[in-house]
Amino acid sequence: MSSTLVVQLVISGILLGGIYALSSIGLTLIFGVMKIVNFAHGEFLMLAMYVSFWLFHWAHLDPYLSMLISVPLFFIIGILTYKVFIKKTIGAPILSQIFVTVGLSIIIENLALLFWSADFRTVSLSYLSRPIILGPFSGLGLEEIIVNKARLIAFILGISLSIAFYLFMRFSYLGKVIRATSQDRTTALLMGINIDRVYTISFAMGILLVGIAGALMIPIYTVHPFVGFEFVLIMFVVVVLGGMGSIVGAVVAGLFIGVVEVFSGFFIGPESKQAVYFLVFIAVLVLKPSGLFGEKGEEELERIEAIGE
Amino acid sequence: MLEVRNVSKWFGGNPVLKDISFEIHKGEIVGLIGPNGAGKTTLFNVISGFYRPKTGDIFFQGENISRLTPEDICRRGLCRTFQITKPFSNLTVFKNVVIGALSREKGIREAENKAEEILELVEMTPKRDLLGRSLTIADRKRLEVARALATSPDLLLLDEVMAGLNPNELKEMIALVKKLSQRGITLFVIEHIMTVIMGISHRIIALDHGEQICVGSPCDVAEDPKVLEAYLGEDYVAP
Amino acid sequence: MSSGGKRDGIILLAGMAVFALLPLFVKNDFYLDGFILIFVWGAFAGAWNIISGYGGMVSLGHNAFFGIGAYTSTLLFLRQGVSPWIGMWAGAAIASALGIVLGVICFRLRSHYFALATLAFGQVASIIALNWRGLTEGAEGLTLPIRPGFAKMIFATKLGYVYMGLGLLVAVLLITYLIDNSKLGYYLVAFRENEDAARALGVRTGRVRLAAMAISSALSALIGSFYAQYLLYIDPSSVIRIQIAVQVALFAIVGGVGTVFGPFVGALIFIPITIFLRARLGTALPGLHMVIYGGILILVLFYMPKGIYGMLRERFFPSSRIFK
Ligand SMILES: Nc1ncnc2c1ncn2[C@@H]1O[C@H](COP(=O)(O)OP(=O)(O)OP(=O)(O)O)[C@@H](O)[C@H]1O
Ligand SMILES: [Mg+2]
């Protein structure tokens, strides 16, 4: 195996991982704060891809610019989803917590099928069509390395946004409030934090992030009603591997899974690559269920109680 | 009946129990006191098998139980209650107690009979059809005791079953504890209310910051300077 | 037995008589299909209910067990000539062994984590079925020869399948009823409600979970085998894709989890809706029936957390020893 190939695969994997990282952060944020797994997260991603697609199709709006619309739109969608569906599941039995979002994912997926049919749709941007060619680096013994522009853009924006979001959570007042709530809800309540508001904003931000991810992904992937399910499975792997609730973990795990996927796709074949990261997933759940960066014991944490009106 | 030998327990880098050793004899009521965070509940968790001790051993009726699971320890006749009550929320009081009885009784029928008996004993028969989650604090504590009793324990560990009760409920609970002792159950009781614990215990063990600072009769313990210090601060005992 | 008990017994017998006799008068194959599907899905939802309803360990991977049953009996028949009557038990054995392994490796996992682990398990199973072409023929699927014969568990008429399906359903209901009235059932519920409390009371939660897992996965596989014999053609999308796991859970939840008859009631409600919509719409509005499924699921979770059967039982048979 030539070193050029290895470098090429690693670069492709990392670029792919940047996308996974960004789309998974919202999921991990929602779990970290309200201890709910949003099984509909992939469907929100799918919606976001469709939004960018239709804006491109009907208004010829560049997908990267369509983010300006997606961001507020998905923030509002997030708030509404929280108010109508998610809020009722806080403190509810585990079955309701899981299946309300499962139900939501079924509804969104099939509404998309109903309205937009199962057609595969793509956005191709002429300025992205030619790849960037790096090298050859004869000093390093490397031949040409090919980098896909759309993936590079998605990676750079995805990672920058992830870092920005991390800094926001770390240093802004709101970020601190959210972290405090996710660490110890009771104490946060005693300190006069409005838990319901924190949950609303966290959920909305989680959806907003996936809204951005959708815009970054539409120049790369085809969108169809079932695309969300494919991605949500990867997101689960990333989030669990990184440690549910950990933003840094999601980024690191996203990059890792990206590389794993590219390598296993290359060596084992594209059909079976899914099996590889699911095995990684099960291994993590068995060996270190708290993930790489998660708080230990999180996987055994008791459910939090309902929000009082 | 119970012998705790040099038990210690750490959480991460913090010692929570340091070299604890004591014995409890058949028929005794032994009190366990100590300020908040002293390690009392942790000691119960270690004895009942929920935590492994870092060092030391625990013998129950001659057998080393320090490596057994909680369920096996219970089946040997050592049962505990939880300070933060853990009722089966969606089941009735009766069914809660039946589940307690099942591990020792042959079948459902027998367990149901036993549960009836226990409910009568703890005076909860009128509440048998209420759901676990709808109970008041006092009833939750009582249900904890009832369920544990249903396992036919020889040694019962009670973790603050009197906390948060009003004077009337408190009186009933004290009477119940005495009744259990008369029935031959050995009791190991965590309690904060000094007058109560001093009144019912034959012997008292005091913990502070994970250290066993004193063991003795209620009078001795009440006068021990280390206990006073633990509860009231250094200044108080200084002169 | 009280007079209430007698009343409940009569209602139960009458209900059983309806399901046993009604198919005899239905001449239309289309409706007989409906009966078979109700029995298959009612039984399958009942199997799921044992681990996820009683035990509270939400499985999103039961498609794997169902599919293992379907593939095992079919492959044994096609490749080795083993009668499905025997092959179905081989499938059940494999499924319950895998169920136990899954239970052991997910031993420490709680709630959401268990659900995610089973989801991954189910997904791996379906990927294997799709890609291990040497064994499963992948997406092309496996076809059973249509010539009927009792030894091959291929019936000449739909009625044969109707009664075998009914038999499976009754078996699942009976097993669930027995569990509900046994220590295992009480222990499972105790585990679901509060594991620490259960352990403190001497419940060996580890064993209890594995037992429930073994029973639930074995039953799922048996039903999967039968379903394969009924379809006479299986491929990953008909017997092992992940949507099957979601659908079985959905039926059970809407009917009422942690009850004996709830999951069956769920199938009784959903299958006719599906058939009706399919008959009315054909392929005109794809996805509509799933939108309705999802909507009903969420409404039930919000407003009838005990499910439709659970609610009816509380209203009409609050302390019945039969309608559990
Ligand atoms: N699971 C745990 N992980 C880490 N630290 C713990 C854990 N459980 C208890 N502790 C710590 O161990 C110490 C002893 O706690 P414990 O609950 O045993 O005290 P206690 O004497 O029962 O107090 P209280 O009177 O408030 O019930 C405390 O400092 C507590 O914070
Ligand atoms: Mg305590």
Q: CB within 8 A of C91, min separation 6: which ones?
A: C68, C69, C70, C71, C72, C73, C221, C222, C224, C225
- A-contacting chains (≥3 CB pairs under 8 Å): C
pLDDT (mean) for C192-213: 93
pTM of the model as a whole: 0.91
Contact C109 A285 (CB under 8 A): yes
Task: For a ligand 1 pocket test, name from B10, B14, B40, B85 the mutation site with the most ligand atoms within 8 angstroms of its C-beta.
Answer: B40
Provide the number of structural domains found in chain A.
1
CATH of the domain at A213: 1.10.3470
**C110 vs A100, A109, A299: nearest CB:** A299
ipTM of the complex: 0.90
Percent of all residues in chain A with a pLDDT value above 90, rounded to a whole number:
44
Instruction: Provide, as residue numbers in chain C, all residues whose Cβ is less than 8 Å from the Cβ of B72.
Output: 204
Q: Does A305 score more than 70 pLDDT?
A: no
Instruction: Provide, as residue numbers in chain A, all residues whose Cβ is less than 8 Å from the Cβ of C131.
Output: 271-272, 275
Classify residue C107 by its DSSP letter: T
What are the pLDDT digits (tens) for C275-293? 888 888 877 788 888 999 9
Classify residue B51 by its DSSP letter: S
Distance of CA B124 to the CA centre of its chain: 20
Positive or negative, the Cα torsion across A77, A83, A85, A90?
positive
pLDDT (mean) for A70-92: 94
Residue having the nearest C-alpha atom to atom 22 of ligand 1: B41
Find where tokens 């580890």 sit: C206
Q: Among A298-302, B94-98, B180-184, B185-189, whose mean pLDDT is lowest?
A: A298-302
Peptide bond between residue B239 and the one before it cis (omega within 30 degrees of 0): no
User: How far are the Cα atoms of A134, C89, C231, C310, C314 from residue C317, in angstroms, in the given order?
Assistant: 75, 36, 38, 10, 6
Q: How confident is the model at residue A296 (pLDDT cuts 50, 70, 90)?
A: low
Residue having the nearest C-alpha atom to atom 4 of ligand 1: B11
Domain that holds residue A232: 3-308
* CA-closest candidate to residue A12, choices A137, A147, A134, A129: A147
Q: Does A260 score more than 80 pLDDT?
A: yes
What are the pLDDT digits (tens) for B18-75? 999 999 999 999 999 988 888 999 999 999 999 999 999 999 999 999 999 999 999 9
What are the pLDDT digits (tens) for A120-153? 998 888 787 788 887 777 777 777 888 888 889 9
pLDDT (mean) for A276-289: 81
Give me Rg for the CA atoms of chain B: 18
Q: How confident is the model at residue A301 (pLDDT cuts 50, 70, 90)?
A: very low
Instruction: Specify the ligand 1 atom closest to the Cα of B12.
Output: 4
Q: Give the minimum alpha-carbon distance from C198 to chain B in angstroms, rounded to a whole number.
A: 8
Between these two residues, C315 and C202, which has the higher pLDDT value?
Answer: C202
Q: What CA–CA distance (Å, rounded) separates C281 from C272? A: 14
Q: Write down the domain spans for chain C.
A: 33-241
What local confidence, expressed as pLDDT, does residue C93 receive? 97
What local confidence, expressed as pLDDT, does residue B100 receive? 94
* CA-closest candidate to residue C61, choices C123, C145, C150: C123
What local confidence, expressed as pLDDT, does residue C25 receive? 85
Q: Does A204 score more than 90 pLDDT?
A: yes
Between these two residues, C5 and C301, which has the higher pLDDT value?
Answer: C301
> What domains are defined for chain B?
2-85+155-232 (3.40.50.300)
Find where tokens 């091959």 sit: C152
Q: What CA–CA distance (Å, rounded) separates A173 from A163? A: 17
Mean pLDDT of chain A: 86
Q: What CA–CA distance (Å, rounded) separates A29 from A32? A: 5
Q: Phi-psi bin for B22: left (phi > 0), alpha (psi -120 to 50), beta?
A: beta
